[in-house]
Amino acid sequence: MIGIYTRQSVDKKDSISIESQIDFCKKEFIDEECKIYTDKGFSGKNTNRPAFEQMLTDIKAGLIKKIIVYKLDRISRSVLDFATIIDAFKKYDVTFISSTEKFDTGTPIGNAMLSIIMVFAQLERETIQKRITDNYYARGKKGFYMGGRCPYGFTKIETKINGIKTSTLENNLEQMPSLIEMYDLYANTNMSLGKVSNYLNENNIVAPNGGSWDSCKISRILRNPVYVKSDAEVYSYYKNKGVIISNDLNDFIGINGSYLYGKRELNERKFTNMENHVLSLALHEAPIDSKTWLLCQYKLDSNKQIKNSGKGKHSWLSGYAKCGYCGYAVSVVTSGHTEYKYFNCRGKTNLKNCNGHSIPIIVSEIELEVEVELLRKIQELKNTKLSVQTNDDLVVNKIKLELLQIENQIENLLNQLAEANNVVMKYINGKITELDNKKNILLKEMQKLVLTNSKNLPIEEVWDQVDKWDELSIEEKKAICGYFIEKINIKDDEISIDWKL
């Protein structure tokens, strides 16, 4: 029996209909039984098509001995897929005919010409894809709207720039106040993503496209540079993330938002891995100042770094308490019959590389000892609050100057690589690695100072909460702990605290 295969991606005036394809194919035989396979609304970029798969099933069952199509690209536009299909046809002794291109795999010349035609079909498809990609990036570099769903807080407005149709963003008067409050809550309080989403839901603020708010929606909005008044600080933040910036530093004057775009890996969330993505200044004026926006980024970056530390349901020291012998985190173990809780070294239980503690480490005893030291430290800082903040500002400025010097040194070394021989290149690469490591240390140090300098949790709020310490929840105590403490090293009969301030 003869099989006629037809495919049409979309209904367009310049595309041949399914009926016309069938008519052309029927001219290739007379009075023979045939079965028609039709895939409508499917692309030729792959073979995941229901009628096509049914045709292959019938071929394997020996029902079809000849396949006729209107044109080769009805089968596939991919050379690799097409070659696989032709091999399957040969395996089951099936002849393939293209009615308009007059190719018949029953002849050697037909086989040869068939392969040539498919090579050009694939080349054409790849050329079109490249043209679309280049146009997309070119539009981005001009600050044009990159398409997709309109960001929360904005309304998309159609416009023309230099005769080119595009869109720009304007403030959505209904959503913008909630957006600004969202940034303020996350940047300037101790509220987590979950608490911010709960707040929005409790106040009946409608999420994008309906539904309720959650941590993922909040995170995507806070990460999006479309909202930030892009200045030199934002430029430096993205440059240090490995982002390609299409505008000159002098263009970042703290008015416009930015678009971040680039190819992501399969199942990779947006804004997670920004290396080799492109940042371009947009045409619209952004609503969020760079200080608030960057503070949100530092806080989100910190969350990412400690995301495996757990929620700490049993102790406000969870995530900060470490084994003083091996350095690994300690987890809380509870007794099944009593309220007895103690810390257990993960290095001993999971990795088997620590001898652990020789005596039980009671959680309540460690908490009490840390509490005494923490409240003493807070009172000490409270008495010298202003001088601490002023000193932090000086340190941050000093770090920024060091970072600029390192950037200049790295740039000079990179310029020297072009003329260096193998021996010199080895030393230059080593020096670049050394400078890059130093840069990363300075960036972490600056990030830590920014987070603890009356931003992540306003210092006045710390004083208020400390006054009612015994009434605080585990989560609230943990927030204050994280404000001041880097980590707590626990040994059998002693603890030591690494302070952030």
Which tokens belong to 114? Answer: 């068939």
Angle at the Cα of 191 from the Cα atoms of 190 and 192, rounded to 5 degrees: 115
- pLDDT, residue 51, reads 95
Same domain, 176 and 234: yes
Same domain, 124 and 210: no
Of 72, 70, 65, 131, the closest CA to residue 95 belongs to 65
Is 225 a domain residue? yes
Within 10 angstroms of residue 144's Cβ, the number of other Cβ atoms is: 21
- pLDDT, residue 187, reads 87
- pLDDT, residue 426, reads 77
Looking at the DSSP bridge assignments, the partners of residue 345 are: 330
pLDDT, one tens digit per residue, over 112-159 is 776 776 677 677 667 777 776 667 666 666 767 777 788 999 998 887
- pLDDT, residue 386, reads 42
Is 106 a domain residue? yes
Is 342 a domain residue? no
Same domain, 168 and 261: yes
Angle at the Cα of 334 from the Cα atoms of 343 and 194, rounded to 5 degrees: 85
Burial class (CB in 10 A: 0-12, 13-18, 19+), 482: buried
Same domain, 114 and 202: no
Q: Do residues 499 and 485 lie in contact, with contact meaning Cβ atoms separated by under 8 Å?
A: yes
Same domain, 40 and 78: yes
- pLDDT, residue 455, reads 41
- What DSSP string runs through 121-185? HHHHHHHHHHHHHHHHHHHHHTT----SSPPTTEEEEEEEETTEEEEEEEE-TTTHHHHHHHHHH
Is 338 a domain residue? no
Q: Residue with structure tokens 């009805």?
A: 74
Which tokens belong to 307? Answer: 């995301």
Ranges of the chain whose pLDDT falls below 70: 11-14, 79-80, 114, 117-118, 121, 124-125, 132-134, 136-141, 143, 264-272, 302-313, 335-339, 349-353, 383-394, 396-397, 417-418, 447-464, 501
Same domain, 126 and 164: no
pLDDT, one tens digit per residue, over 90-111 is 899 999 988 887 777 777 777 7
Is 343 a domain residue? no
Same domain, 409 and 441: yes
Round to whole Å and give the CA distance between 5 and 68: 6
Is 450 a domain residue? yes
What is residue 343's three-state secondary structure?
Answer: strand
Same domain, 66 and 177: no
Number of domains in the chain: 3
Question: Among 82, 106, 138, which residue terminates a domain?
Answer: 138
Round to whole Å and give the CA distance between 279 and 426: 32
Give the CATH number of the domain where residue 235 resides: 3.90.1750
Give the CATH number of the domain where residue 11 resides: 3.40.50.1390
Same domain, 131 and 189: no
* Three-state secondary structure readout of 285-315: ECCECHHHHHHHHHHHHHHHHCHHHCCCCCC
Same domain, 32 and 80: yes
- Write out the residue range of the structural domain in which residue 158 sits: 154-305
Question: Among 92, 112, 138, which residue terminates a domain?
Answer: 138
- pLDDT, residue 37, reads 95
Q: What sign results for the dihedral spanned by CA atoms 129, 135, 139, 142?
A: positive
Is 475 a domain residue? yes
- Cα 376 to Cα 143, 182, 366, 372: the distances in Å are 53, 34, 16, 6
Of 387, 388, 336, 374, the closest CA to residue 488 belongs to 374
Of 118, 115, 148, the closest CA to residue 44 belongs to 118
Same domain, 165 and 98: no
Q: Do residues 233 and 293 lie in contact, with contact meaning Cβ atoms separated by under 8 Å?
A: no
Question: Among 290, 305, 320, which residue terminates a domain?
Answer: 305
Is 166 a domain residue? yes
Same domain, 162 and 262: yes
